[in-house]
Amino acid sequence: MKITIDAVSDLLKSMDDVLILAHENPDGDAVGSACALCRAMLKLGKNAKVSIERVSNKLSYLLTDVPTGDFDYKYVVAVDTADNNILGVSNTSVTKNSKINLCIDHHFSNVLYAEKTYLDEKAAGACEAIFDILKCMNIEIDKDIAECLYVGISTDTGCFRFGNTTSKTLRTAAELIDLGVNNAKVNRLQFETKSKEYAKLEQMAISSMNTYFSGKCAVLPITYDMFIKSGADDSDTSALASLPRQIEGVLIGVTMKEKVKGTFRISVRTNPPADASAVAGMLGGGGHRLAAGCSFEGSLNDALKAVLKCAESELKEIGEL
Amino acid sequence: MKITIDAVSDLLKSMDDVLILAHENPDGDAVGSACALCRAMLKLGKNAKVSIERVSNKLSYLLTDVPTGDFDYKYVVAVDTADNNILGVSNTSVTKNSKINLCIDHHFSNVLYAEKTYLDEKAAGACEAIFDILKCMNIEIDKDIAECLYVGISTDTGCFRFGNTTSKTLRTAAELIDLGVNNAKVNRLQFETKSKEYAKLEQMAISSMNTYFSGKCAVLPITYDMFIKSGADDSDTSALASLPRQIEGVLIGVTMKEKVKGTFRISVRTNPPADASAVAGMLGGGGHRLAAGCSFEGSLNDALKAVLKCAESELKEIGEL
């Protein structure tokens, strides 16, 4: 059941002993929204913990002083998670089919798996929705909460570059800066810093990018071998995900990341009218119209074949093939 | 002489027959601020023209319906130009030593060459200053003016990523979106679109990047040969300029672009405490603390030697060597 912002505010005020979850392979918006919500609940004197799987180095500092792990919770709240089958539950007694009391999300593809769902499809990130909720709850947004929210909003918008950035998104970010976020520092860490190993990985990946279907689809493979050769162990390759789509004429840009041998994390980015969630959906994934993802088990060749088949189907669907 | 925002507003209202200039190798902020100001003057019923040199493909549409070229002007206004020796005057009867009646700028290094200068050092771009001036003049900012200003602000901040982005910058951009700017479309063109040839140029340039002084300096050469081999004729390689600085440990990141054989346009980007304007200044250039530029005539080897000598000097200056 979808609920209003007033209802979600009242619901959060009424809850205690809350376990906060987010999706697997958590990005900045997942970590930021979980941590911001937890910090806010603690400010209300409530017992709350966050459980997130494998947080990347660049994001782990957001968890400083945030209680984490499993406990004898009464309520489970999921943030930034469109589908219970991608909930990150491995460190908890929760299963992907457990009852989730509340979900706060911004993905239009949310399958409404939770008892109650606050869904703001216009929000650029779950963090933008949580900012509004905390305001509605009259909770003071301190510098730490503001930083969590800023990281979520900035990372989910490619630092305000992507099409999900609205004037409200920019005003929210402005307010977070006025609340003490050092945006220059955050942006340097999230968008302007890469290890030497990661720079090498990028070099190899970029040089192996290829185009298909008369340049309407571009695929950038980040293979297991590249990880080994570069020595990079960074799991966040989200900056690479937008590269294939940037080439003029490309409607469907794909990155295929093989961090674990034989397992591909596939990111699809499209230019209109191509629909990324349609492409990812054919391989069991989902997401937004311009950005979506899915997984694939198999060889590089099989992954590429599968991706190209889906891309071909979508290009036909929109009359481009 | 520096003047206030009220004074510059009154001055612009009192002027007619105005020639608007910007700096050589004009970027988005130069083109955006010149075109926005010209459109605003026309709205006041005044005679005004813009003269800018060699505008890149991505920016030329901002000049649509803007009168350009030389004419029998009474006043000359320079925007976004810190020094008269970099004024783009080749298409006009103005010389670099001519009297400039007014300069509107945001570079702290402005040498105050104009009779009167409105300098807003806190503005992320000259366009942010011009937005404030137009408000002060009570000129309606229509969609076309808004788009010029948005392009200037977004390109000068790396789409709100660089350290010059303030909460005021974000609120200004939000207002411009509300005035009708399709930010998703503008961002796709300015930041997310590259020709196949340019993508190839990038590939070659990135793979030839090297680090020096224990990884504290990184240099990315974009040579004449790379332009020839890739077939790219895009003169805007500003996206590459931020790459060397992104590698962890790099304090001074340099790109050396040889669009014309033997002539290097050098961009310096630094991480604090390294000072980009100090590095560029040693080669006769200038700019901001974190972003600056200069030119060099000679071979690739000589350019590299000169750059490394300046970088070494700055690294010693800040105690890093």
Q: pLDDT tens for residues A100-149?
A: 999 999 998 899 999 999 999 999 999 999 999 999 999 999 999 999 99
- Partners of A173 on chain B (C-beta within 8 Å) are 160, 167, 170
Cβ contacts of residue B177 below 8 Å, gap of 6+? Answer: A166, A167, A170, B150, B183
- Partners of A175 on chain B (C-beta within 8 Å) are 167
Are A163 and B188 an interchain contact pair (Cβ–Cβ within 8 Å)? yes
- Partners of B167 on chain A (C-beta within 8 Å) are 173-175, 177-178
pTM of the complete model: 0.87
Are A187 and B246 an interchain contact pair (Cβ–Cβ within 8 Å)? no
Helices (DSSP H) in B44-142: which residue ranges?
Answer: 57-60, 126-136
pLDDT given for residue B235 in this prediction: 63
- Cβ of residue B210 closer than 8 Å to a chain A Cβ: no
Q: Which of B175, B207, B246 sits opposite A203 (nearest CB)?
A: B207
Are A171 and B170 an interchain contact pair (Cβ–Cβ within 8 Å)? yes
The CA distance from B284 to B265, in Å, is 12
B132-151: per-residue pLDDT in tens? 999 999 999 999 999 999 99
Query: DSSP letters along A186-248, please?
Result: HHHHHHS-B-HHHHHHHHHHHHT-EEETTTTEEEEEE-HHHHHHH-------HHHHTHHHHBT
Low-confidence ranges of chain A (pLDDT < 70): 234-236
- Cβ of residue B215 closer than 8 Å to a chain A Cβ: yes
Q: DSSP label at B30? A: H
pLDDT given for residue A203 in this prediction: 83
CA dihedral A80, A85, A87, A91 (to 10 degrees): 180
Peptide linkage before A273 cis (omega within 30 of 0)? yes
CA distances B224 to B97, B233, B246, B264, Å, are 32, 11, 24, 9
The CA distance from B194 to A245, in Å, is 9
Peptide linkage before B273 cis (omega within 30 of 0)? yes
Q: Which of B195, B211, B245 sits opposite A192 (nearest CB)?
A: B245
Cβ contacts of residue B195 below 8 Å, gap of 6+? Answer: A247, A248, B232, B234
In the stretch 155-184 of chain A, residues with CB closer than 8 A to chain B read: 158-163, 165-168, 170-171, 173-175, 177-178, 183-184
Cα-Cα end-to-end distance for chain B: 40
The CA distance from A280 to B49, in Å, is 50
Complex ipTM, two decimals?
0.86
B47-84: per-residue pLDDT in tens? 999 999 889 889 999 999 999 988 999 999 999 999 99
Phi/psi for B23 (5° steps) reads -80, 165
Nearest residue on chain B to A175, alpha-carbon basis = B167
The CA distance from B122 to B212, in Å, is 33
Token pair, residue A87, equals 């909930």
B144-173: per-residue pLDDT in tens? 999 999 999 999 999 999 989 999 999 999
Are the CB atoms for A50 and A68 separated by under 8 Å?
yes
Residue A177: helix, strand or coil by DSSP? helix
Query: Across the A/B interface, how many CB contacts are shorter than 8 Å?
Result: 111
Q: Are strands B286-287 and B252-260 parallel, antiparallel or unpaired?
A: unpaired
Position B192 confidence tier, pLDDT thresholds 50, 70, 90: confident
Q: State the smallest CA–CA distance between residue B304 and chain A in angstroms.
A: 21
- Triad A83, A86, A90: Cα angle to 5°: 135
Nearest residue on chain A to B187, alpha-carbon basis = A161
Token pair, residue A258, equals 């093989």
CA distances A294 to A61, A93, B210, Å, are 27, 25, 35
- Partners of A187 on chain B (C-beta within 8 Å) are 161-163, 165
Are A247 and B170 an interchain contact pair (Cβ–Cβ within 8 Å)? no
